[in-house]
A and B are shown apart, each in its own frame.
Chain A
């Protein structure tokens, strides 16, 4: 088990290097810092000097890989690759193009993101699993048939409409909760209620349908027939046998996204004006702040890799058949 985890962590290193190289290529080679500067400053009427200043302020004036103007190790260290990419390995994100400390921003903004994402995930799971169990219980009836159609219809609606529609109906027509904004402490709940509910509703269609498939697949297995032949009631078959087996794929599917919850939801946070990492990212994209986007790309990848590792470990915890070696 431990040797497995060590191997997986070792395996993550080349992947992190790969991600680093990809982001480096995307951000500094495909487009040179000059291009970025021009694009930021507006390409007409910008002088060489303005571009040079812009680059110097943000540390983009250095050469890409090799700096001949200094000596020793500094030849490699005083470069964009070292300053901007290699430092990501130790989570040194540096400062944004507008001069703010990215690490500090992240540490501040992850809490609102989590405040939405965690209840969204947990309540969402509870709701969708209950629905899916109910549908699976009525399998091969009209209830099943129409539930699936409704699920397909629900998942055919763009998230944008759930958010706009929810905001409009609840916030504007009913005036129950504020449409957008955020506050700290308990006050936050009234701001979080609407985004969480909308988040859950927008995910119901796809998840319910998926879980239903998992349940039905389990229900066709031989051990279910064995349980029935023992005289086990249908309810007990569902909860003690089917659910227990079906939770393996469901839980492990959830575990992989757990770390990514930190990243927040781009759309929800943007719409509801919640100062989380999602809206942070969107703002950066809209402002074309490359430093922040680059940091978020790297952070997201690391979290995803952690998610993969956690998935494997969680398998061994919930499935007695799997022993990692």
Chain B
């Protein structure tokens, strides 16, 4: 085999989550009452566009979660040798950005280093100059003259590639939708061009086009230049920002996976059984809730740090160690965030159990657990979904803050919080090193903004109080 797959624990959970999502989508397709609100979500252009952007982030995170040991060229006996390092599919796609490491800072798209160095020429002359970068624009003989033209050319190539990719996607989409709707291709095209469809096809195709062009051109330009410059140790900042996507998405998504079962089970039990069950569950979440979140997280992370320091041998690699810490962070965030949902679900169950269809079921002698599973849980699922979507963006923001105060992910993990943390000291430099911060800012802002917009649309569509649907 050309590689040896590695599945980290967070990878496994992330795949599990993906599987759950796929099953969920397949399930609602067959149930009209579940399908209707989601149709409403993607019929609104804000919803459809946000979903496109979020799915792009998700796809990047997914690619970055497929890890493996690459095969080495050396071969001992008949056995292949595999490298010790763990890389992901995304790393392979971004190989140039991953491997082209400069010495230190360099500005975005620059061909020169950011700081002057002593260079000794062959003739013994010593000069204090900005040296050329090892990789960034290295193919140019005189960057001052050629760079703009070269960049323009690369950009055009990228745009062309992006448009081609976009055309392929749109073509497949049109063919598929034609096939499924059973209409003639001509008619289908007519609806789409005249914008007569129920769905915001115009907005979606523009978004997809933009995404395709952005990806393609940044890949093309990024293979020859450092799109967002390099950091203190010469790492490509664009690469770091992209790698951070996995951390952000994972924290937002896995935390939910951790907290959902607890919140759903405890919340519905407290609301349904009342009495001492309710008292105990209320006590648990009031107690947990009263500890300030940041402090509880800080305390737990500190303790994990201590544990990991003292048991450093039990981790095979740095990657695994960082992965464990990421998982712990998700767990802890899950523990601090289930209480809100639990309280909401308790109150909703309280209301639902007085509904007459529940009394009718009781009059039939249907057992309590069946009533919980069939009558109560399906009827508060919209609250769960709304909370999950709303919490997602909050968790992404929380990761940055926690990493900034050193109680977030492992310093070795790529994350926006770590990028900000490392870059913030450089703000004091003259001239300012602004690119690391900007890159982290842009990538995080886009994710959180579209997650928030999506959450708004989802709440409008799913909340019966807002939309008037059941």
Residues of A within 8 A of B (CB): 14-15, 18-19, 22-23, 26-27, 30-31, 35-36, 38-39, 43, 148, 152-153, 155-161, 164, 167-168, 172, 260, 263, 266-267, 270, 281-282, 285-286, 288, 290, 293-294, 296-297, 300-301, 304-305, 308
Residue of A nearest to B300 (CB): A26
A31, B420: Cβ atoms under 8 Å?
Answer: no
A31, B303: Cβ atoms under 8 Å?
Answer: yes
Kindly list 19 other residue pairs between chains A and B, CB separation below 8 angstroms, not including A36-B306, A164-B424, A267-B405: A22-B291, A26-B303, A31-B307, A156-B445, A158-B416, A158-B445, A172-B427, A267-B404, A286-B406, A288-B305, A293-B295, A293-B298, A296-B292, A297-B291, A300-B295, A301-B290, A304-B289, A304-B291, A304-B292
Query: DSSP class of A's interface residues: helix, strand, loop or mixed?
Result: helix
Residues of B within 8 A of A167 (CB): 427
Some 7 contacts from A to B, beta carbons below 8 A apart, are A43-B310, A152-B453, A285-B405, A288-B306, A293-B299, A296-B292, A297-B296
Kindly state whether residue B208 has any CB partner on chain A within 8 Å.
Answer: no
Kindly state whether residue B66 has any CB partner on chain A within 8 Å.
Answer: no
Residues of A within 8 A of B448 (CB): 156-158
B255-293: CB near A (< 8 Å → 1, else 0) gives 000000000000000000000000000010011111110
Select which of B289, B299, B432 is within 8 A of A23 by beta carbon: B299
Kindly state whether residue B452 has any CB partner on chain A within 8 Å.
Answer: yes
B299, A304: Cβ atoms under 8 Å?
Answer: no
A-B CB proximity, top 5 nearest: A300-B292, A18-B287, A156-B449, A156-B448, A301-B290
Give A297 to B302 CA distance when docked, in angstroms: 13
Residue of B nearest to A293 (CB): B299
Select which of A22, A294, A297 is within 8 A of B292 by beta carbon: A297
Residue of B nearest to A300 (CB): B292
Residues of B within 8 A of A (CB): 283, 286-292, 294-296, 298-300, 302-303, 305-307, 309-310, 393, 397, 400-401, 404-407, 416-417, 420, 424, 427, 432, 437, 441, 444-445, 448-449, 451-453, 456
A224 to chain B, nearest CB (A): 17
Select which of A14, A157, A172 is within 8 A of B283 by beta carbon: A14
Residues of B within 8 A of A27 (CB): 299, 303
Give A293 to B406 CA distance when docked, in angstroms: 14
Residues of B within 8 A of A282 (CB): 405
B300, A35: Cβ atoms under 8 Å?
Answer: no
Residue of A nearest to B446 (CB): A156
Residues of B within 8 A of A30 (CB): 303, 307
A216 to chain B, nearest CB (A): 10
B302, A285: Cβ atoms under 8 Å?
Answer: yes
B306, A152: Cβ atoms under 8 Å?
Answer: no
Give A31 to B309 CA distance when docked, in angstroms: 12
Residues of A within 8 A of B451 (CB): 156
If A26-B299, A39-B310, A297-B296 touch, whether A160 touches B287 (CB-CB below 8 Å) is no
A181 to chain B, nearest CB (A): 15
Residues of A within 8 A of B397 (CB): 158-159
Give A18 to B400 CA distance when docked, in angstroms: 30
Residues of A within 8 A of B306 (CB): 31, 35-36, 39, 288
B427, A168: Cβ atoms under 8 Å?
Answer: yes
A164, B427: Cβ atoms under 8 Å?
Answer: yes
B90 to chain A, nearest CB (A): 24
Select which of B307, B407, B449 is within 8 A of A35 by beta carbon: B307
B462 to chain A, nearest CB (A): 16
If A31-B307, A164-B424, A293-B295 touch, whether A152 touches B407 (CB-CB below 8 Å) is no
B193 to chain A, nearest CB (A): 27
Residue of B nearest to A34 (CB): B310
Residue of A nearest to B416 (CB): A158
Residues of B within 8 A of A308 (CB): 290
With most chain B CB atoms within 10 A of its CB, the pick from A36, A152, A267, A281 is A152
Give A263 to B407 CA distance when docked, in angstroms: 18
A262 to chain B, nearest CB (A): 11
A39, B309: Cβ atoms under 8 Å?
Answer: yes
Give A285 to B303 CA distance when docked, in angstroms: 11
A158, B400: Cβ atoms under 8 Å?
Answer: yes
Residues of A within 8 A of B302 (CB): 285, 288, 290, 293
A35, B452: Cβ atoms under 8 Å?
Answer: no
Residue of B nearest to A294 (CB): B299
Residue of A nearest to B286 (CB): A15
Residues of A within 8 A of B432 (CB): 168
A75 to chain B, nearest CB (A): 28
Give A97 to B11 CA distance when docked, in angstroms: 39
Select which of A38, A156, A301 is within 8 A of B310 by beta carbon: A38
Residue of A nearest to B455 (CB): A152
A301, B291: Cβ atoms under 8 Å?
Answer: yes
Residue of A nearest to B289 (CB): A304
With most chain A CB atoms within 10 A of its CB, the pick from B310, B400, B453 is B310
Residues of B within 8 A of A14 (CB): 283
Give A121 to B306 CA distance when docked, in angstroms: 37
Give A288 to B301 CA distance when docked, in angstroms: 10
B185 to chain A, nearest CB (A): 37
A267 to chain B, nearest CB (A): 7
B449, A153: Cβ atoms under 8 Å?
Answer: yes
Give A300 to B288 CA distance when docked, in angstroms: 12
Select which of A161, A270, A301, A305 is within 8 A of B441 by beta carbon: A161
Residue of A nearest to B450 (CB): A156
A125 to chain B, nearest CB (A): 21
Give A27 to B298 CA distance when docked, in angstroms: 12
A266, B453: Cβ atoms under 8 Å?
Answer: no
B298, A15: Cβ atoms under 8 Å?
Answer: no
If A164-B420, A266-B294 touch, whether A22 touches B406 (CB-CB below 8 Å) is no
Give A103 to B454 CA distance when docked, in angstroms: 46
Give A38 to B299 CA distance when docked, in angstroms: 17
Select which of B283, B295, B416 is within 8 A of A18 by beta carbon: B283
Residue of A nearest to B437 (CB): A164
Residues of B within 8 A of A157 (CB): 441, 445, 448
Give A39 to B302 CA distance when docked, in angstroms: 10
